[in-house]
Amino acid sequence: MKISREELETLKLNEETIELAAYLIKVNGYVILEGVLPQEKVNELRKAFTDCMDWFIDKHGKEIYENKKGFNEGTNHLGIFLPFAAPFNDSLVIEHPFALAIIDRLLGKDYSVTLFSSNTSLPGGKKPQPVHPDYGARFGDLCKVALPITDLVFNIPLVDVHDGNGPMEIWPGGTHLLPDNYYGPNGPNPEDLAPHMQSMKVHMPAGSILIRDVRMWHRGTPNRSDEIRPNLALIYSAFNRDNSVQIPQETYDKLSDRAKHLFRWQKIGYPAIEPTHE
């Protein structure tokens, strides 16, 4: 979706925009708000992220990376938890007014953040990831009806994403609306069905906001460029209370009331982590 100049300047979405975005997520599984972060903010985030990735590869992956085997069985896709510190915990990342207006419409007001991370397609990937939803079945084999939307991934790409640099591929329109047991090990295998279904590669400008139901099938694809293609990745959850995010007390104390509420289940009073593998 394109956002109007007035909405960008006031950082407030019109009612029609919120309604359309919420319906698109309900029906299609995702929405993209194109290029909504200011360029300077994207540059700052990209620089800090690139430093984190360089540090991580230097510390944990130089051998894997340099012997060309590649991370994660050759996909060269890497999930890295980020430190809860500037610039990653900027209010335009953790509580972007556009995202919250849309998520409020879908999850009510009491949801929280349960993931503070990133997904990067590194250059040199040899194959795509398997097609997958991000969460499995909530109730194992027991629940044979579709459940409401409860968990939304929020992605911000830090570079323009196009066919050449490992765009995410998605299967929208229905794969988030399946009976709960379909997401479990005894449900249909997305890898078997996906080749017979419609998919699309998600092209979007740097600083866009992608909000997607965690259940929508997707996969990372190989990055054929020579630069990393990072996506910041947060999850907003209505009921989950996963708490892996470490937040120093003084950082937490400086957050807005809304951000405090969003991170209330997390490890408050713990040092910010070094970048670590998901």
The site for ligand AKG (CB under 6 A) is made up of 77, 79, 119, 121, 129, 134, 168, 218, 220, 231
What are the residue ranges of helices labelled H in the chain? 5-10, 15-28, 39-56, 62-66, 91-94, 97-107, 190-193, 249-253, 257-262
**Token code pair at residue 107:** 């999850």
Cβ(212)–Cβ(151) below 8 Å: no
Taking alpha carbons only, the member of 135, 118, 161 closest to residue 32 is: 161
CB of 43 to ligand AKG, least distance (A): 20
β-pairing, 169-171 vs 217-219, is: antiparallel
CB of 186 to ligand AKG, least distance (A): 21
User: Which C-beta is closer to ligand AKG: that of 171 or that of 252?
Assistant: 171
CB of 51 to ligand AKG, least distance (A): 19
User: Which C-beta is closer to ligand AKG: that of 74 or that of 79?
Assistant: 79
User: Which C-beta is closer to ligand AKG: that of 202 or that of 247?
Assistant: 202
What's the first-to-final CA gap in the chain, in angstroms? 30
SS3 261: helix
**Token code pair at residue 7:** 């909405």
User: Which C-beta is closer to ligand AKG: that of 17 or that of 121?
Assistant: 121
User: Which C-beta is closer to ligand AKG: that of 79 or that of 248?
Assistant: 79
CB of 229 to ligand AKG, least distance (A): 7
User: Which C-beta is closer to ligand AKG: that of 129 or that of 251?
Assistant: 129
CB of 221 to ligand AKG, least distance (A): 7
Cβ(65)–Cβ(125) below 8 Å: no
The DSSP annotation for 196-240 comes to: GS--EE--B-TT-EEEEETTSEEE---B-SSS-EEEEEEEEESS-
CB of 200 to ligand AKG, least distance (A): 13
CB of 216 to ligand AKG, least distance (A): 10
Determine the Cα angle at 249 with ends 243 and 253, to 5°: 105
Taking alpha carbons only, the member of 159, 193, 196 closest to residue 178 is: 193
User: Which C-beta is closer to ligand AKG: that of 79 or that of 205?
Assistant: 79
97-107 vs 15-28: helix axis angle to the nearest 10? 60
Position of minimal CB gap to ligand AKG: 220
Determine the Cα angle at 272 with ends 158 and 258, to 5°: 70
User: Which C-beta is closer to ligand AKG: that of 96 or that of 212?
Assistant: 212
CB of 269 to ligand AKG, least distance (A): 30
